[in-house]
Every structure is written in structure tokens, then in C-alpha cells.
Amino acid sequence: MEFRDRRVLVTGGTRGIGRAAVESFLAAGATVAVNGRTAESVAAALKELAAGERVIAAPGDTATAAGCKAVVDAAVAGLGGLDVLVNNAGSGGGGPVGDLDEALWDKVVDTNLKGTFFCTKYALPALRDGGGAIVNIASVRAVMGAAGASIYCASKGGVVSMTKAMAIEFAPEIRVNALLPGAIDTDMLQSLAIRMGDDVETGYGMMSAHTPLKRVARAQEMADVILYLASPRATYITGAALLADGGMAAGSANLDQKAS
């Protein structure tokens, strides 16, 4: 029960990686505020979680500054303070540069980068009270390019740079770290897999072939890292960009140079 009496806000906690983190924080004794875009999606998640008074709703669009303020205010009021902020809400989408428009740029950058900034800004006073921790969910795409992913890469690279700047600015009271997931089985990755391979299985096969560990990960494997970075086991870690990518960023999985 490492997080007993700790108060946690997970943005984008209704599905995928965020949902797995919510379930793990609850299992570790925390009280958790769950965010998603709508009151309906959050209510449905809370019903499934069935965690009684240890889980509260903090719906709202974190792609706007006003939305972030409403979400953080609801979380801090409902939880009676805040010890951990997980900036997880994210948006994918992409394609060749020539096909991309301002609306997609705004959606992806506002959700992934602006939302992380403004949720952090509004959570800062409450986090300072408790000596808290922030975990920003970036992506392996912060450090590795991919055709068709220019906007997403830009947004996640920004998250990593911002994590480092904030880690310095908020030290020593608050630790700020970024998690860089590789390919994780969620709704977002299934959409990408279908774009890449026509169906999820084919797309996942293509991704696995470029991953040294040869598979897509479960969301729970990311939740384990999120809890670690937020926990007292990571008290000397701040400003880190921690890859959990099955070795993807270590290099090419398919260029074997053993043969001479």
C-alpha cells in the first residue's frame, strides 16, 4: 500500500495507459481523480472501477487552459489536495506533412503539450503543499522520428524538454519525470495499427518486428513505471526521460551485423 493517503490526478484516466495507472494507484491505496473529456466517459469509468469514495470524477478538456483549470480545481477540491499529477491525456493522428492542416496541429499539440503545461501550472500550488511528483507521458517518438508522425513527434519532444525545464524549476520540492512508452496495446495504438497494416494484428506484427523485445506491451507495464516514478522508491530521480519501449530506441532490431 505504497500510496496510502496519497492523492492522485490522472488525466486521460478513462482508458488505455491512464486507466491502467488509475487501477494501479487504487490498488496501492491512493485516492484518485479520473479525468476524461466528458462527464459521461468519466462516469462510465468510475462505475467500472467500483472503488467507492477513493475515486472521484474530474472531467474536462485538457486541450484548453480553461479546461485544465477546471479539471485540476475539481481534483484538488474533491481529493482535499494533490500529491501526484500524471499528465497522460494524449492525442495521436498524422500523415504526410503535405496532407496535414492547422486543425490537426492544434488538436495534437494542444492535447499533448499545452495540456501538460497548463495542468501542471494549475496543480503547482497544491503539489507544493505536499512535496509532490509529476509524471508526464511522452513517447518514444520524442526521441525517434517516424514518417507520418511529425506533429506527434514535435508534441512529445516538447513534453520531454518541458519536463527537464520544470524539474529544475520545481526542485527540490517537486520531482518531474517523463515516461517514453513504445508500442502499447490501447485504442490509440489499435487505430495506428489499422492505418499501418489494414488490421490490428498485421499492424502489431509490423511494430513488433521493429522492437527488440518483439511484441507490443500491455498498458499495465506502463502503469508499473508510472507508479515507480511517482513513488518514494524514485526519490532521487527528477528530470528523467525514461524509455519503456521494448528496446525500440536502442537501435534497429533488423540490422544484424554479426555476419561478416
Ligand X SMILES: NC(=O)c1ccc[n+]([C@@H]2O[C@H](COP(=O)([O-])OP(=O)(O)OC[C@H]3O[C@@H](n4cnc5c(N)ncnc54)[C@H](OP(=O)(O)O)[C@@H]3O)[C@@H](O)[C@H]2O)c1
Of 91 and 150, CB closest to ligand X: 91
Question: At residue 148, what are phi and psi to the nearest 5 degrees?
Answer: 90, 0
**Packing angle, helices 219-230 and 16-27, rounded to 10:** 50
Query: Which residue reads 507520418 in cell numbers?
Result: 148
Catalytic annotation, pick one of 152, 204, 228, 236: 152
Smallest distance from the beta carbon of 137 to ligand X, in angstroms?
Answer: 4
* Element holding 133 (H helix, E strand): strand 133-137
Query: For residue 133, how far is the Cα from the chain centroid?
Result: 14
Question: Nearer to ligand X by C-beta: 160 or 183?
Answer: 183
Given the complex with ligand X, which of 18 and 203 has the nearer CB atom?
18
Binding footprint of ligand X on the chain (CB under 6 A) = 11-18, 35-38, 41, 61-63, 88-91, 111-112, 137, 139, 181, 183-184, 186-189
Question: Would residue 204 show up in a list of annotated catalytic residues for this protein?
Answer: no
Distances (CA, A) of 227 to 30, 62, 66, 137, 179: 11, 22, 28, 12, 11
Of 1 and 50, nearer to ligand X (C-beta) is: 50
Q: What is the CA radius of gyration of the chain?
A: 18
Residue pair 36/42 in contact by the 8 Å Cβ criterion: yes
Kindly tell me the burial class for residue 250, based on how many C-beta atoms sit within 10 Å of its own C-beta (0-12, 13-18, 19 or more): exposed
Catalytic residues: 152
